[in-house]
Chain A
Amino acid sequence: MVVIYIKAAWRSILKNKLFSFINVLGLSIGICSAMVIGAIVYFDFSFDTFHKDKDKIYRVTTVFESNGNQFSNRGVAVPIMRTFQEGMPGVELAAPFMSANFFKVENKLQDLTFKNIENSILADNNYFELFEYDWLAGDSRSALSNPAQVVLSENKAQRYFPHTPVSDVVGKTLIYNDSISVKVSGVVADFKQNSDFKFTEFMSLSSAKMFGAKDIVTNDQWNGTSSGDQLFFKVKDEASVTLVESRLKELAKEHKNKAEWAANDERNFILQPLTNLHFGGPYGEYPFNNSNHVASIKVLKSLGFVALFLLLLGCANFINLNSAQALTRAKEIGIRKTLGSSKKQVVRQFLLETFILTCIAAILSLVLAPLLLRQFIDFLPADINLSILYSLKGALGILVLIVLVSFLSGFYPAFVLSGFRPVSVLKGQFSKGDKGVRLRKTLTVFQFVVAQVFVIATLLVTKQLHYVMNKDMGLKTNATAYISTPWNNSTDVQKERLFNAVKNIQELSNVSWGGNPPASNNYSTSMLTYFKEDAEMHQQTQMLWGDVNYLNTYKIPLLSGRQMLNDSVKEYIVNEAFAKEVGFQNTADVVGTFVKMDTLKIPIVGLMRDFHQHSLRSDIGPMAITGDWPDDDYPMFNKIHFDLGENSENWTNSVKQIEQAWASVYPDEEVQVQFMDEIVEGFYRTERSTVQLLTWATGLSILISCMGLLGLVVYTTEKRVKEIGVRKVLGANLAQLNMELSKEFLILIGIAFLISVPISWYLIQEWIQNFAYKTALSWWVFLTSGIGMVLVALAVIGTRTYRTANINPVESLRAE
Chain B
Amino acid sequence: MLLQLNNIFKWVQSGGQRIFLLKDINLEVKEGEFISIMGPSGSGKSTLLNVIGMLDTFDEGEYHFLEDSVHNLKEKHRSNLYKEYIGFVFQSYHLLDDLTVQENLEMPLIYKKFKGSERKAMVADMLDRFNIVGKKDLFPAQLSGGQQQLVGIARALISNPKLILADEPTGNLNSKQGEEIMDLFKQLNDEGVTIIQVTHSEKNAEYGSRIINLLDGRMI
A345 touching B111 in the complex, CB below 8 Å, given contacts A339-B155, A426-B55: yes
Which residues of A are found within 8 Å of B210, using beta-carbon distances?
none
Which residues of B are found within 8 Å of A340, using beta-carbon distances?
79, 82-83, 108, 111-112, 159
Bound state CA distance, A342 and B80, in angstroms? 8
Could you mark each residue 1-41 of chain A with 1 if its beta carbon is under 8 Å from any beta carbon of chain B, else 0?
10010011001100100000000000000000000000000
**50-96 of chain B: CB within 8 A of chain A:** 50, 53, 55-56, 76, 79, 82-83, 88, 90, 92, 94-96
Which residues of B are found within 8 Å of A15, using beta-carbon distances?
97-98
Docked-complex contact A341 and B96, CB < 8 angstroms: no
Question: Interface segment, B33-41, B99-107, B182-190?
Answer: B99-107
Which residues of A are found within 8 Å of B112, using beta-carbon distances?
340
A380 adjacent to chain B (CB < 8 Å): no
A339 touching B103 in the complex, CB below 8 Å, given contacts A421-B55, A426-B55: no
B110 adjacent to chain A (CB < 8 Å): yes
Q: What's the minimum C-beta distance from B75 to chain A, rounded to whole angstroms? A: 9
Docked-complex contact B106 and A341, CB < 8 angstroms: no
Docked-complex contact A425 and B94, CB < 8 angstroms: yes
* Interface residues in B, total, Cβ within 8 A: 30
The residue in chain A whose Cβ has the minimal distance to the Cβ of B92 is: A428
A335 touching B94 in the complex, CB below 8 Å, given contacts A1-B110, A340-B83, A345-B111: yes
A774 adjacent to chain B (CB < 8 Å): no
Docked-complex contact A339 and B111, CB < 8 angstroms: yes
**Number of chain A interface residues as a range:** 20 to 34
Docked-complex contact B103 and A7, CB < 8 angstroms: yes
B177 adjacent to chain A (CB < 8 Å): no
Bound state CA distance, A11 and B94, in angstroms? 17
Which of A342, A422, A423, A426 lies in contact with B111, CB distance below 8 A? A342
The residue in chain A whose Cβ has the minimal distance to the Cβ of B107 is: A339
Docked-complex contact B111 and A8, CB < 8 angstroms: no
Which residues of B are found within 8 Å of A421, using beta-carbon distances?
55
Which residues of B are found within 8 Å of A7, using beta-carbon distances?
99, 103
Which residues of B are found within 8 Å of A336, using beta-carbon distances?
96, 107, 111
Docked-complex contact B94 and A334, CB < 8 angstroms: yes
A338 adjacent to chain B (CB < 8 Å): yes
Which residues of B are found within 8 Å of A132, using beta-carbon distances?
none
Which residues of A are found within 8 Å of B4, using beta-carbon distances?
none
Docked-complex contact B98 and A11, CB < 8 angstroms: yes
Which residues of B are found within 8 Å of A339, using beta-carbon distances?
88, 107-108, 111, 155
Bound state CA distance, A342 and B88, in angstroms? 16
Docked-complex contact B79 and A426, CB < 8 angstroms: no
**148-199 of chain B: CB within 8 A of chain A:** 155, 159, 167
Bound state CA distance, A426 and B92, in angstroms? 9
A426 touching B90 in the complex, CB below 8 Å, given contacts A336-B107, A340-B112: yes
Which residue of A7, A332, A335, A427 has the most chain B CB atoms within 10 A of its CB atom? A335
A331 adjacent to chain B (CB < 8 Å): yes
B46 adjacent to chain A (CB < 8 Å): yes
Which residues of A are found within 8 Å of B106, using beta-carbon distances?
4
A8 touching B90 in the complex, CB below 8 Å, given contacts A340-B112, A342-B76: no
Which residues of B are found within 8 Å of A425, using beta-carbon distances?
94
Which residues of B are found within 8 Å of A337, using beta-carbon distances?
79
A4 touching B110 in the complex, CB below 8 Å, given contacts A340-B83, A423-B55, A427-B46: yes
Bound state CA distance, A332 and B140, in angstroms? 13
Q: What's the minimum C-beta distance from A2 to chain B, rounded to whole angstroms? A: 10
Docked-complex contact B103 and A342, CB < 8 angstroms: no
Which of B53, B79, B92 lies in contact with A342, CB distance below 8 A? B79
Would you mind naming 6 contact pairs between A and B with Cβ atoms under 8 Å apart?
A: A15-B98, A338-B88, A339-B155, A340-B108, A426-B50, A426-B167
A-B pairs with lowest CB-CB distance, top 6 = A340-B83, A340-B111, A11-B98, A423-B55, A339-B108, A423-B56
| Sample of 8 further A-B pairs with CB below 8 A, known A1-B116, A338-B88, A340-B159 | A4-B103, A8-B103, A15-B98, A336-B96, A340-B111, A426-B50, A426-B167, A427-B50
